[in-house]
Amino acid sequence: MLFRSTVTTPPGVTSVRLAKYYPYTLGMFDRFRSSLVGHPFVQEQVIGRSVQSRDIVMHTLTDPTVPDAGKERVWVHAAVHPSETPANFAAEGLIGWLTGGSSEAQALLGRAIVNVVTMANPDGVALGNYRTTSTSVNLEMQWASPYTSTVPEIVALRSTIEQFMGTAAAPGANPISMLLNLHASHNETYPFHFVHEATYPTAGVTAEVRALED
């Protein structure tokens, strides 16, 4: 079947990109950020800036009426690959649920600190890139040698994570107990876990999940 469409471009535009995925745009994220302003359980922090000087934003969610001592910390960053927009929507949905006022969410925020970076690659989003930053860097590959990476997006994530963890001599007050790096796949009929190791670990997922992946 043949489909035809017409695209009218603004003056000066010489190229057009067509996305193969449902977008999660900078405007959508800005509107979401605005909706969280003033929420008593949410704090926003700019933890760094991208190569093109866009904010890398982290939202911290917890119940401030409960002392932080003893709280578990959960870290989530999403969509280092700009096309993997279900990860953005999942991160936004998580924040939405945590701030929705349910008794379950309030109970969780009474015993946890949740840090969420919904848009880890804002330049890639702005440019409509599929997997890379404005300088054609695949951020996921940078985690192979994170301490030598000078890519601003990785430095922002790594430095913040290190700040929370502290050192062996001076551990953080609320170190990260769970770290989630959210991705998404297209046209997959089953979930999968990408493991940053040369060989498949003997632990980390259930036997049933591993059997499906194998």
Q: What is the pLDDT of residue 188?
A: 60
Nearest to 121 by CA among 85, 73, 159: 85
pLDDT at 6 over 90: no
**Res 91: pLDDT:** 97
pLDDT at 144: 83
How confident is residue 5, by pLDDT bands cut at 50, 70 and 90?
A: confident
Give whole-number Cα distances, 147 to 152, 154, 161, in Å.
12, 9, 12
Write out pLDDT tens, residues 39-77.
Answer: 999 999 999 999 999 999 999 999 999 999 999 999 999
Question: What is the pLDDT, as a whole number, of residue 202?
Answer: 57
Tens digit of each residue's pLDDT (9 = 90 or more) over 149-200: 999 999 999 999 999 999 999 999 999 999 999 998 766 665 566 665 556 5
Task: Indicate the length of the chain as a whole number.
Answer: 214
Residue 203 has pLDDT above 70, yes or no: no
Task: Give the per-residue pLDDT at 173.
Answer: 96
Q: Give residues with Cβ within 8 angstroms of 82, minimum separation 6.
A: 121, 124, 125, 127, 128, 129, 130, 131, 132
> What are φ and ψ of residue 31, in 5° steps?
-65, -40
pLDDT at 204: 55
Residues 117/125, Cβ–Cβ less than 8 Å: no
Residue 117's pLDDT band, with cuts at 50, 70 and 90, is very high
Please give the pLDDT value at position 141. 92
pTM of the model: 0.83
pLDDT per residue as tens digits for the range 94-114? 999 999 999 999 999 999 999
Per-residue pLDDT, 18: 72
Q: 12-34, pLDDT tens digit by residue? A: 988 887 767 788 999 999 999 99
Q: How far is CA 64 from CA 32, 35, 60, 61, 194, in A?
A: 21, 19, 11, 9, 35
* Residue written as token pair 């000066």: 12
Q: Does position 209 have pLDDT exceeding 80, yes or no?
A: no
* 8 A C-beta contact, residue 58 and residue 155: no
User: Rounded to whole angstroms, how far apart are CA atoms 38 and 98?
Assistant: 15
Q: Residue 15: its pLDDT value, please?
A: 84
Nearest by Cα to 161 from 78, 67, 51, 47: 47
